[in-house]
Chain A
Amino acid sequence: MEKFDTLTAIVAPMDRANVDTDAIIPKQFLKSIKRSGFGPNLFDEWRYLDHGEPGMDNSKRTLNPDFVLNQPRYQGARILLARENFGCGSSREHAPWALEDYGFRAIIAPSYADIFFNNCFKNGILPIVLDAQIVDELFKQVAANEGYQLSIDLDAQTITTPDGKAIPFDVDAFRKHCLLNGLDDIGLTLQHVDDIRAYEQKRQQQAPWLFS
């Protein structure tokens, strides 16, 4: 997993609540058996005017000029500004894979769906929770200022605005540690092999039917 420490980037606004993972990456692209290559189909049904299928040459498809990520001012954006309950619905990890493959490394929203939130951390994406009022103010700033950028410092847990104001944010200590160091969980868990074996032995005494 790629490390995340600091990021200064253009912010793209996704101004609607309850953006679900079906919208982030539609089902037909879930047929892939790979982990990469989902970026061109991120938000496919909103982003293009035609119907997308796996294997199409996306560079030849007609873009929807009204869709926010197609607007010239948001090209190169790496921070996504979103509303409540972002990433709800399906558990598909293809959603953070698509966001990451497109170029997003951080999301700012008032709330996220639990599974999506968790999946982000496994893929080097930092989902930041901020108070709805602060998010609302950021939406206004992004709309008013072309090329609006934010600077995120994970270690300091701050977002710095162009006028130098620092907005603090919370992040779980464990998730922060993994993201800062680019650590995968499996290796960490396998440091506790003895604990897992001991648990299994004890549990097998109590509930043997679970091991038959």
Chain B
Amino acid sequence: MQARTLYDKLWQDHEVRDNGDGTSLIYIDRHLVHEVTSPQAFEGLRLAGRKPWRVTANIATPDHNVPTTDRDKGIADPVSRLQVETLDQNCVDFGITEFKMNDVRQGIVHVIGPEQGATLPGMTVVCGDSHTSTHGAFGALAFGIGTSEVEHVLATQCLIQKKSRSMLISVDGVADLQVTAKDIILAIIGHIGTAGGTGYAIEFGGDAIRALSMEGRMTLCNMAIEAGARAGMVAVDDKTIEYVKGRPYAPSGDMWDKAVAYWKTLVSDADAKFDKVVHLDAAEIQPQVTWGTSPEMVVGVDSTVPDPMSFSDPVKRDGAKAALKYMGLEPNIPINQIRPDKIFIGSCTNSRIEDLRAAAAVAKGRKVADNIKLAMVVPGSGLVKQQAEQEGLDKIFIEAGFEWREPGCSMCLAMNADRLEPGERCASTSNRNFEGRQGQGGRTHLVSPAMAAAAAVSGHFIDVRELD
């Protein structure tokens, strides 16, 4: 048989039929649902008199609109409240399992899928959310879809898809301590650009990727979409299998052994051909900080804000000029002189236990600097919050002057009450530094959890390694 990539294997194992016109009907194993992109899809089902094809394939949770404080008081904003209540009602009407706002299993949909073992190696996983690429960390084919496709999956358990081209991004060598998965993916995006992965399914490989924990691999795959690729993935290894074992939705007994045997085949064959291969040297990657309004506008913390005139492409030059104006930054200033007003540690990119541990390790015994108006930590799920509290991380954060919040998407996109005011600058562990993303006029600098904590206690960006 011809050598196959991991993506080839996942595609072939889910192809229901080749439509003969360049598209295939692809079977979907897991559908994750949240309140923002599903109401119109459920409404479509109702209007057509349809039911979910396989109701147990769906798991729902509210995450975008939920408040991160005073949960017992419910949702203050009536528009947000209606959206969450609509999800609750739709899940009742259609018989879908939902982890509701006050359930300890509630959280950001891309945190709870893996946490529950609802994301398994070899699955196709979709959700009406672009960061569904996260689940590719498990050797799954996972990608974000629009609301029409949410309805399509609900009604048919399938999607009409065109196969992407394949790209291998190999990060070779050993990354420095404190250079995290977040720094690696930001460096990759800086290297290939936000459209570099458009039309591709990316497999991340190389020693530096194999060395990452599952949490790190989720951070990496989460931001594949920021490189333009709908799907990012990492091959299955012992870490993958170890992470999945014993989780509520994971198989057990004889079924476990059978599953593991299959999962171990979910790697690219040694001589498989990719349409494109990119190599990065892990040892050269510094802790990253974005300076502009696109994730590709990123440099090492030891660097300076670029001069727009240094870009030869006129479109890029204009983009950089507009970005600096929006960000309120001058060319050539050192990154470590930039002073944030707020700190946000959370989001589907960086709100898992390992992220909180990394930030807490920096915060421990230190205080949030006086110029920081607000530093907040938002765990990715109720269970992450519980575990962090068992480890005493909440006390470390609170002692240092951080706020310790309830789980949700929060200030990654500011659909709830957590947002930046116009002109405010934020060191954020989220995934998008777009204009207005964290609040109209808000200025976002994307960093790792350790770097966000370092900025919090220093009052400006700083190489976290200087604090050791």
Residue B162 at the chain A interface, CB threshold 8 Å:
yes
Q: What chain B residues lie within 8 Å of A174 (beta carbons)?
A: 19, 21-23, 160
Does A118 belong to the interface (CB within 8 Å)?
Answer: yes
Stretch at the interface among B151-159, B172-180, B376-384: B151-159
Whether the pair B128, A111 counts as a contact (CB closer than 8 A) is no
Tell me if A195 and B17 are in contact (CB < 8 A). Answer: yes
A92 touches B16 (CB 8 A): no
Q: State in angstroms the CA–CA spacing of A173 and B162 once bound together.
A: 12
Known interface pairs A51-B440, A89-B130; A23-B434 also in contact (CB < 8 Å): yes
**What is the bound-complex CA distance between A115 and B82, given in angstroms?**
27
B145 within 8 A of A: yes
Of all chain B residues, the one with the shortest Cβ separation from A184 is: B148
Q: In chain B, what residue has the closest Cβ to A189? A: B156
- List, in ascending order, chain B residues with CB within 8 A of A192's CB: 16-17, 25
Segment among A59-67, A100-108, A203-211 that sits at the interface with chain B: A203-211
| Closest Cβ neighbor of A207 among chain B residues | B262
CB < 8 Å A-B pair total = 189
Q: Is the CB of B440 within 8 A of A31?
A: no
A93 to B120, CA, bound (A): 27
Q: What's the interface size class on A, roughly?
A: 35 or more
Interface members, chain B 2-52 (any A CB < 8 Å):
13, 16-17, 19, 21-23, 25, 27, 29, 36-37, 39-40, 43, 48, 50
Give the residue of B146, B262, B432, B434 whose beta carbon is less than 8 angstroms from that of A118. B146
* Chain B contacts for A89, CB-based, 8 A: 130, 225, 432, 434
Q: Give the nearest-CB partner of B21 in chain A.
A: A174
How close is A169's CB to chain B, nearest CB, in angstroms?
16
A156 at the interface (CB under 8 A from B): no
The answer to whether B162 touches A172 (Cβ under 8 A) is: yes
- A140 in the interface, Cβ–Cβ < 8 Å? no
Flag whether B284 is at the interface (Cβ < 8 A). Answer: no
* A122 with B148: CB separation less than 8 A: yes
Chain A interfacial positions (CB closer than 8 Å to B): 16-18, 20, 22-23, 26-28, 30-35, 45, 51, 54-55, 83-85, 88-93, 96, 111-115, 118-119, 122-123, 172-174, 184-186, 188-190, 192, 195-196, 199-200, 203, 206-210, 212
Interface, chain B (partner A; CB < 8 A): 13, 16-17, 19, 21-23, 25, 27, 29, 36-37, 39-40, 43, 48, 50, 53-54, 64-65, 77, 79-80, 82-83, 86, 120, 122-123, 128-130, 144-149, 151-152, 155-158, 160, 162, 164, 194-195, 198-199, 225, 228-230, 251, 255-256, 258-259, 262, 294, 315-316, 318-319, 322, 413-415, 432, 434-437, 440
In the assembled complex, 14 residue pairs joining A and B whose CB atoms fall closer than 8 Å, in A order, are: A16-B322, A22-B432, A27-B413, A27-B437, A31-B65, A34-B40, A91-B37, A93-B40, A119-B148, A174-B19, A174-B22, A185-B152, A186-B151, A203-B27
